[in-house]
Structures are given as structure tokens and as C-alpha cells.
Structure 1
Amino acid sequence: MDQLEDPRDLERKIEQASRIASRVTDQTTYQRLTAWVDELRQKLQKHLAARRSKEEIRARAHELWEQHGRPVGRDEEFWLQAESERGKSQDE
């Protein structure tokens, strides 16, 4: 996934390509445009899933930090623990 691609840009591209595809009469061009729209939608879904995952990890890391008395300088430790927990729960 292209990390530099903004979800709003993806949404705009999807909208534009869909509009164009709806007006195209050439079957080959239509198929290429709809394939591109599908590719953009997949990128957008991956981006949104990654964002949700990061938000869940952030929330869990914050929870762990609070449970351990809000210690200074251990943020990376709690982040890694939250990532590890998330990875384990996805494997199940």
C-alpha cells in the first residue's frame, strides 16, 4: 500500500473514475476504468483497516500505561506490548 496516498485523494479518484466509466461506451476502456476503481477501493480499504488497527493499538497502549501508573519514558514498551497483543488476537 502506498503510505503517501491520502484516503480523501483515493475517494476523489474513485468518484472521478466511476463518473468517467459511466459515460464511456468503449468496452475496453470501461473495463480498464472499472478495474482501476476496484484497485483504488482495495487501497482505500487497506488504508482504513491500518488506521483502525493503529487506533486500537494506541488505545490499548494508553490503557497499559495507565494500568502501570503512568510511568514516564516507557511509551515504546507499552506500544510494543499492545501490538503484540493485537497480533496474538488476530492469530486466534
Structure 2
Amino acid sequence: MDQIEDPRELERKIDQATRIASRINDPTTVERLRAWIEELRQRLRPRLEARRTKQAISARAREIWEQNGCPTDRDLEFWLQAESEISEHQRQ
């Protein structure tokens, strides 16, 4: 399976497998589906966290940019500052 999966695709697979598991009576198949659903959820968690982190960095970088008068050509500087702040906040 593709190592870089879209979180929406993983969520779609989880929903689909959950619906299928609710309609099946064979306990072995249901257990296998539940195990697969858990595996998908485990793969989804870090992708959602990465997306939330990227959104937080983007929002903070914009705040920094606005606080500095919206200058041009300093986007990387503000991004790196925001990334550093968010990383430090997550470590605490």
C-alpha cells in the first residue's frame, strides 16, 4: 500500500470497513475487519497530527508576518520562526 496516504482516503476506508463489518455475521471476518480498521486508524493518527501542526505553523507564520507589517520576501523567515515556536510548544 502507498506509504503516503491521504488522510481523507484513510478515513473513507475506515468508514467503509466499519459499514461492512456491521453487516457481516462471520466472527472471523469481523475480527479481521476490526484489526484492519485499527491498523488504518494507527496510520491515520500521525497524518492528522502532521496536518494540524502544519496548519498551526501556517497560522502562526501569518500572525508574525502581520505583526511585522506584512513585508515581502521574508516568508521563509516567518515560517521557520513559527515552526520553531510550535515545535517548542509541542515539546512542553
What is the TM-score of this pair, normalised by structure 2? 0.80
Q: Distance in 2 between matches of 1:84 and 1:46?
A: 19
Aligned identity (percent) is: 61
- What does residue 60 of structure 1 align with? 60
Give me the CA root mean square deviation. 2.0
**Structure 2 residue identity aligned to 1:91:** R
Q: Which runs of 5+ in 2 are unaligned?
A: none
- What does residue 42 of structure 1 align with? 42
**Structure 1 residue identity aligned to 2:65:** W
- What does residue 13 of structure 2 align with? 13
Residues 1:89 and 2:89 aligned together: yes
- Paired positions, count: 91
- What does residue 76 of structure 2 align with? 76
Shift of 1:71: 1.6
**Structure 2 residue identity aligned to 1:39:** E
**Structure 2 residue identity aligned to 1:87:** S
What is the TM-score of this pair, normalised by structure 1? 0.80
Q: Distance in 2 between matches of 1:88 and 1:12?
A: 33
